[in-house]
Each structure stands twice: as structure tokens, then as C-alpha cells.
Amino acid sequence: MEIFFKGTGENAFVLRPALWYSTRMERIARFEALKAQLEQNPDYSGKITLEEPLARRTTMRVGGNAAFFLEPGDENSLLVALSMLEKAQEPYVLLAGGSNVIISDAGICGTVISMRALRDVSVSPAEPQAGAESAAGAGQQTGAAPHAGAGASGGVVLTAQAGASWARVISLCREKLLSGFEGFAGLPGTVGGALFMNASCFGHAACDNLLSVRYWADGRVHEYTLPPLTDSARNEALQADWGYKRSPFQKPVGACQPPVESHMHSGGSQPHPVNAQQHLPVLLSASFACAALPSDAADEACARLCAQYDETLRARVAKGHFSKPSAGSTFKNNALFGVPAGKLIDDSGLKGLKIGGAQVAPWHGNIIINAGGATASDIRALIQQVQDTVKARTGFLLEPEVLFLGSW
């Protein structure tokens, strides 16, 4: 069975039986035809390859090839590719920073779209628009760039494309002396992935200072907006749409075929029905409110702001996030368990446990690393063993935060 997870960082996917193609040659012929179609389209620019290696494109450094791989060179090329694939009823996987995912050793028998080229980040003055109507929780069709208002009075608006890395965002924040993302220094992955899963770290969530998101769904571009940061309606909107590892972009849009049931367990999670052609929104760009130090700010104030970014990065280094290849935190925390997932794993005596080249990090229970020569199967087997051991000891079933992509 072939499972395609869609999105850049959260538990959402479409599923299609691998037998959709009666033969391997039929599959190759189909992708060659799609490749030729894009190559002949003057509105598309970017990479188009067959059998693209994916291991080097992930932070865990494992996985096979993508049967059909696209890396659009700009947003318009991405929209051209999405239109073509959806018209052809061809499922696809979005891949950006490559964190939080485990790609199977067999690879992905389908289309992978890399978002890496969509990495622009810019800053503009905030221009609140009087009378602007909030559209929290609603998609509005638009072809325009995100507006730079939405209530960041006295500050600035930072706009980033979905494929922009957090390293790129933080670099600009430091250069322009912007606050608002101190907790995201050193975070692997991209803006789109963090918003899709509503990443949270060091007390900050991706949605905290979010103003708007442009996204693709139903064959067109929409805009999602939140009330201004000072609006009393903002908290209600956030509670309705956002939460721990939850965002409004995890809801499928549209359907082309009757539901099918997945009997594939994602690291111990329960099977659930999905649709062969349900399309999730594809995030294009997002705008955030930031506070800017004035150009004549004292050196002391500038140093304090930069020190906050440095401290977050040092904390990540101290936790061993960059010591070995990993996908980041392996399991979600569950408030009902009373303690973090890493503590449950530590107390179960699992730190340092190895299967093949995969290992529970000796320094942190909720990080599984590629200790050298690991395969995706090693990692999945280790995740399953950790789940089984913790459940037998505590009765709690840890839910993976990482996503399993491809044929398992």
C-alpha cells in the first residue's frame, strides 16, 4: 500500500493503492508524459526529474527515491504544477526542509514537490486598514500578495514564502532588529511546515503573531486572516482554529473518489479512513506582526534582543538537536500523561537503545537519531519498540510526531 502524506509537517495525507499503476512501465510512462507537459509549458520554471534521491533532502538522512520530483522555481511555477497534477488526479507530497519526516527505504512511488525555491522573506511597515473585516477561519479567494496591515500598528510586517527556512527568517530578524520569533532560533524546517503543524517551542507557537496566510485549494489562491493582535476577537479565533500540533490547514478540501481505509499503522497509531484524492491546502506565504527596535535604539537594547536569539540557539545545541541526523522530536507530548514524552521514555530505561543504525539519543529520550548507516526501517522499528515498551510500563501509547512517507 502506498501512503502519501500531504503538507509540510503534520499528520495529514492522501492514500492511493500502489496498484493504481498496473506495471512499473506504465507508471514511468505516465510521469514522463507529465514531465514533457511541464517542460513545454512556458509558465513553468524549475527542476523536473525522475527517480530523485530523497535521503539528502531530509534531516534524518534516510529514504529512497521520488518517482517524479518537481522543484518549482517560483510561486507561479508551483501553481502551474499543482493545477496540472490535480487535473490529472495525481497525488503529491510536499517536501521543504525535510525535518519531521521519515521517508521509506523504498521511496515514494509518486510525485514529490520541493518547496525549497520559495524562500523569499521581506519586511514592510505595518499599515492598519480601518474597517478591514476579519476572516478568521475562512478562506477568501485572492490573487494579490498578502496585505501588510491587519493590526500591527507601531510595528512591521514580516512576510515569508512557505519554503523559507527559519534560519533565513531569524537572520533577517537579527539584521532588522525585529522581535517576535526569539523562540524559533535554530528551528529546523520551514515557515510553511511550522504553520501547518503549528509548531511550538520555548513558549512560542507559530500562530502567535500570525496575521495572514495565502494558500492554494480548489484550484485557486485563497487568503486566511486572523484578527489584529490587539483585537479582542483574536483569542476566540485562535482557540477555534489553532492548538497543540493543530492548524486550520490540516482539513482536506475536495474529493474525487470514494473513501478507502488505511490498514497501515503509523508507528502504532490507529488506522483511519482517508480519501484517495482529498486535497489539503498548500501554503504559499504568510505574514506576521513583529516589533522593531527604532533605528536609534541604544546598543544595549540591540544587544539584549540578539542575546535572546543566541540563548534559544544555545539551548537547542545543549539538548543535542544538531549532534546527529534526526527528524526532531519523535513523539507528541500529551497533557493527559502528566509528563513529557521524553520523560516517559527516560524512565523506561530506553535512552541509548539501538536497532540497526537507529538509536534513542543517549542525551534525550524524545529524539531518535541516525547513529550511522540507519535505514528508515530501523527507525520505524525503533519507534515501535519505544511505543510498546512505554505502553507496557505505563499504559500510555505515545503518538509519533514524525510522519512516515512512502511505501512501507
- As annotated, the active-site residues are 329, 401
What spatial distance separates the first Cα and last Cα of the chain, rounded to whole Å? 7
Count of CB atoms situated within 10 Å of the CB of 359: 23
**CB 83 within 8 Å of CB 292:** no
Q: Give the integer Cα–Cα distance in Å for 139 and 253.
A: 11
**CB 359 within 8 Å of CB 353:** yes
Closest Cα to residue 92, out of 113, 116, 107, 78? Answer: 113
* 187-199 burial code (b ≥16 CB/10 A, e <16): bbbbbbbbbbbbb
Q: Which amino acid is at 172?
A: L
Q: What is the DSSP letter of 292?
A: E
Burial grade of 112 (CB within 10 A; 0-12, 13-18, 19 or more): buried
Beta bridge partners of 407: 2
Count of CB atoms situated within 10 Å of the CB of 100: 27
Count of CB atoms situated within 10 Å of the CB of 88: 13
Burial grade of 40 (CB within 10 A; 0-12, 13-18, 19 or more): exposed
Supply the DSSP string of 63-118, one letter for each residue.
--EEEEEEEESSHHHHHHHHHHHHHTT--EEEESS--SEEE-TT-EEEEEEE-TT-
Beta bridge partners of 201: 204
Q: Give the integer Cα–Cα distance in Å for 34 and 288.
A: 36
Sheet containing strand 358-360, strands side by side: 326-329, 367-370, 358-360, 354-355
